[in-house]
Amino acid sequence: MGEKNEIISNERIKPSSPTPNHLHNFKLSFLDQLAPSFYVPILLFYSASDVRTFATDLTALSEKLKTSLSKLLTLYYPFCGRLRGNSTIDCNDQGVIFIHSKLPIPLSNILKNPKPHNLHQLLPCAPYNLQPQQRDTLGIMAVQLSQFKCGGIALGVCFSHKIIDASTAASFLSAWAATSRGHGNSSFAPPPMEETSLLFPPRNVFVDMTSGMFGHANTVTKRFIFSGSNISRLRQNIGCPSFNPSRVEAVTALLWKSSLEAAKEGSDSGEENVAASSVCHIVNIRSRMVPALSKDSIGNIWQYAVSSLVEVEGGVGLRDLAERVRETIRKVDGDYIRKLQSDVEFVEVVKGLEEARTMAAEKGHRFCAFTSWVGFGFYEVDFGWGKPTYATTIGMPIKNLGVLISTKDGEGIEAWLTLTTREMAQLEHNAQLLDFASLDS
């Protein structure tokens, strides 16, 4: 992007009323304890024409966001506290950092080619590269409002993954928007803050599935766009009378297959040969609980689903991979969740995660991971000046990992995929992938 942000203001937003003493010690759930320590970044873009219908003075818009955030934090009180170890949040009302900045470029410069290094400037922190002391200073969440030369704006929010998953982030943004529109805290049910830690009590365990996966040299993240019509074609291409893949299953399978083919091209050039592969998918378990939890339930209510090994030396079909994706996701069923909640059998789950972590590092094995934010409603977040023109994230700088998020029409999928630079160069020329997806230049 080149141009630098001009900081207009930088302050902490505290809840409009203090958190009661009996709520100051918030316990993380067992699932929160297993979550990575980085931040979840969300970016929402609003056009100049929509913003002008609300205010020509962006200072007034900024104040409205701050005031409504302050009101909402009385319900989401852990979000303005500080993490203490891997077990509790001190709900001390230290507040949420809110940065208001200005850029001397039009919003269109970003939207026509949203590369990760340009999007980073629109976030209040580097979500994947913070040291523990920096995370303590930053807190549980942080906000940056960026205004563009044209009058358009971007709202960048980073949420600590130790309590907030993408579904929780979407629910919070929706509640914040409703509060901004004047609907107030009384217009929606208070979030059940303690629910997850009651269902999944904290335990004396620690497994960091992402440890050592950041900071790999020579990796690059690119965005691939699958339109709704192309996904329909892809599903028809994969499907048969006994198997009709979902949109996420189809896109995951194609990206998995394409990355394996890119890795094979690398092995033909003298790099390590890939003989087997497995896929990991993040599974939202709210609807899989009995009884099901609300989509607005707070916390890391998800699990890693890891497939068995797939032999890939002789090549593997797209349908075979799509079926393996479905089989893997369906492993996280009622019995699996029961083990998570058991005082004895949860050890099996932890052991399985540790084995998957070890397997991912083995030579000759390609471990591909995906997380889906499809259907989380980021395009519905209306603070009073209309819905976003564009809603996205920045992808995760973890090799062989893809993040899937809905496109604006709700039919397509935007995929942010991270590979080595050599493999990405091969992937960008994969004819089968390019038949169904477009990519940024």
pLDDT digit string (tens) for 156-178? Answer: 999 999 999 999 999 999 999 99
Mean confidence (pLDDT) of the chain:
91
Cis link prior to 104 (omega < 30° from 0)?
A: no
Q: What is the pLDDT of residue 71?
A: 96
Phi, psi of 276 (to 5 degrees): -145, 160
- If you average pLDDT over residues 93-118, what whole number do you get? 93
Q: What is the pLDDT of residue 350?
A: 84
Q: What is the pLDDT of residue 307?
A: 92
Q: Where in the chain is the domain with CATH 3.30.559.10?
A: 6-199, 219-375+395-439
* SS3 per-residue string spanning the chain: CCCCCEEEEEEEECCCCCCCHHHCEEECCHHHHHCCCCEEEEEEEECHHHHHHHCCCHHHHHHHHHHHHHHHCCCCHHHHCEEECCCEEECCCCCEEEEEEECCCCHHHHHCCCCHHHHHHHCCCCCCCCCHHHHHHHCCEEEEEEECCCCCEEEEEEEECCCCCHHHHHHHHHHHHHHHCCCCHHHCCCCCCCHHHHHCCCCCCCCCCCCCCCCCCCEEEEEEEECHHHHHHHHHHHCECCECCCHHHHHHHHHHHHHHHHHHHHHHCCCCCCCEEEEEEEEECHHHCCCCCCCCCCCCCEEEEECCCEECCCCCCHHHHHHHHHHHHCCCCHHHHHHHHCCCCHHHHHHHHHHHHHHHCCCCEEEEEEEECCCCCHHHCCCCCCCCCEEECCCCCCCCEEEEEECCCCCCEEEEEEEEHHHHHHHCCCHHHHCCCEECC
The residue written with tokens 């579904």 in the block is 167
Q: What is the pLDDT of residue 363?
A: 74
Q: Is the pLDDT of residue 409 over 90?
A: yes
pLDDT tier at 212, thresholds 50, 70, 90: low
pLDDT tier at 186, thresholds 50, 70, 90: low
CATH 3.30.559.10 at 6-199, yes or no: yes
Known catalytic residues are: 161, 382
User: What percent of the chain lies above the pLDDT cut of 90?
Assistant: 71
Q: What is the pLDDT of residue 358?
A: 78
List CB contacts of 357: < 8 A, sequence separation 6 or more.
207, 209, 211
Winning range, highest mean pLDDT, from 27-41, 129-143, 341-355: 27-41
Q: Is the pLDDT of residue 214 over 80?
A: no
Contact 26, 88 (CB under 8 A): yes
pLDDT tier at 132, thresholds 50, 70, 90: confident
Q: What is the pLDDT of residue 135?
A: 85
315: left (phi over 0), alpha (psi -120 to 50) or beta: left
| C-alpha–C-alpha distance, residues 319 and 336, integer Å | 26
pLDDT tier at 209, thresholds 50, 70, 90: low
| C-alpha–C-alpha distance, residues 194 and 179, integer Å | 22
Kindly report, residue by residue over 331-365, the tens digit of the pLDDT.
999 999 998 999 888 888 888 888 877 777 777 78
- CATH code assigned to 219-375+395-439: 3.30.559.10
Lowest-confidence pick of 61-70, 85-94, 304-313, 419-428: 304-313
More confident residue, 211 or 317: 317
CA distances, 22 to each of 25, 74, 92, 298 (Å) = 7, 14, 11, 19
Q: Is the pLDDT of residue 187 over 80?
A: no
Q: What is the pLDDT of residue 267?
A: 58
- If you average pLDDT over residues 13-27, what whole number do you get? 96
What would the two tokens of residue 415 be? 């995929």
Q: What is the pLDDT of residue 364?
A: 78
Q: What is the pLDDT of residue 266?
A: 63
